[in-house]
Structure 1
Amino acid sequence: MENTVDQNGLDEAIIVALGCNLSGAYTSREALLEAALEAFSSEGLAVVARSSWWTSAAWPDPAGPAYLNGVAVVQTSLDPAGTLAALHRIEARFGRARGELNASRTLDLDLIAHGRRVISDVVMAPHPRAHERLFVMGPLAEIAPDWRHPVSGETAAYLATAASIGRDARP
């Protein structure tokens, strides 16, 4: 697995954001996220590059436990809906219970982009708010600084500097 993405493959990049602020049954948040990355292959998602783990205060309420976040670029034959379903199955395996918006969680997997597709039906791609979040754009810029947002055309490197949410995020 590479630590960066071949710039020629960015138009087809399938980007997944990972995050958690609870470690669940694992010894640490990092151990949980590493195990989640390992589980990707069982769902047909081959990790081709991944960022380091970034930490940031809980959002929108910084009184909650801090988050650990990262980004992975994957390859899959799954369509966007199939990719999202696979991510939800992995979340469930790691104890994710969907309920209250922005609640603490053991695992959050977001489909950030599925190639250059712009989709707004069952799946939203690109993720409608990822470009605003340093804890997503920072890790993405680390591994694919020249990736371009399918709608705005801005690079991950630029979006990381312009992000307004999670400005405290750091590797």
Structure 2
Amino acid sequence: MKNQFDQNWLDQAVVVALGCSLPGSYPSREALLEAALIALASEGLEMARRSTWWTSAAWPDPTAPAYLNGVVLVETEASASEVLAALHRIETRFARVRGEANAPRTLDLDLIAHGRAVLDGAVVVPHPRAHERLFVMGPLAQIAPDWRHPVDGRTAVDMAATATVGTDAAPLADIAKL
């Protein structure tokens, strides 16, 4: 596991966002996301660093169950399309049902970035809306503040500061202090 990251390593990192609003068959959303972290390794995605869990109101309907989110940096030799396929397999194992956009769900895994790759085909990286979402950029800034967006070059810290979606997102540890 990496404890210190140089910019070269960060430039190669695969960034995955995890989220859920429903615990499914698990006792809690936290338990579900912890199990999802274990499932990453079963797909050849070695976790190098993870954020704490962040909570935020559901979007765009704040009356829906709140979300729990986090970000992991993984190491893998897999291509972006192979990583995305692995993420979809894991979602299926966790009873993810794709239907209405932004509906409550048991597990949502998003490929945020695959190194410095910029792809706009069957697989799109970097994720086209991640930079707008505090529940993605906040956790990413927590574990890799100097990570830079492959297209515009802004750091995770800069994007967290200017995020416009999920602006109520906060680490669970901070929520407990209130």
TM normalised by structure 2 equals 0.93
Verify: 1:65 aligned to 2:51, yes or no: no
Cα distance in 1 between the residues matched to 2:41 and 2:169: 28
Aligned pairs, number? 171
Let me know the Cα RMSD of the aligned residues. 1.1
- One-letter code aligned to 1:103: A
Where does residue 45 of structure 2 map in the other structure?
Answer: 45
Where does residue 81 of structure 1 map in the other structure?
Answer: 81
SS at match of 1:152: coil
Where does residue 54 of structure 1 map in the other structure?
Answer: 54
Where does residue 170 of structure 2 map in the other structure?
Answer: 170
Where does residue 113 of structure 1 map in the other structure?
Answer: 113
- One-letter code aligned to 2:30: E
Matches within 5 A, 1:131-142: 131-142=131-142
Q: Is the 8 A contact 1:19 1:68 kept in 2?
A: yes
Q: Structure 2, unaligned stretches of length 5 or more?
A: 172-178
Where does residue 145 of structure 1 map in the other structure?
Answer: 145
Verify: 1:99 aligned to 2:99, yes or no: yes
Cα distance in 2 between the residues matched to 1:4 and 1:81: 27
Q: Structure 1, unaligned stretches of length 5 or more?
A: none
The Cα offsets for residues 9-47 of structure 1, whole Å up to 9 and x where unpaired, read as 110010000000000000000000000000111111000
SS at match of 2:170: coil
Cα distance in 1 between the residues matched to 2:50 and 2:6: 12
Identity of aligned residues (%): 68
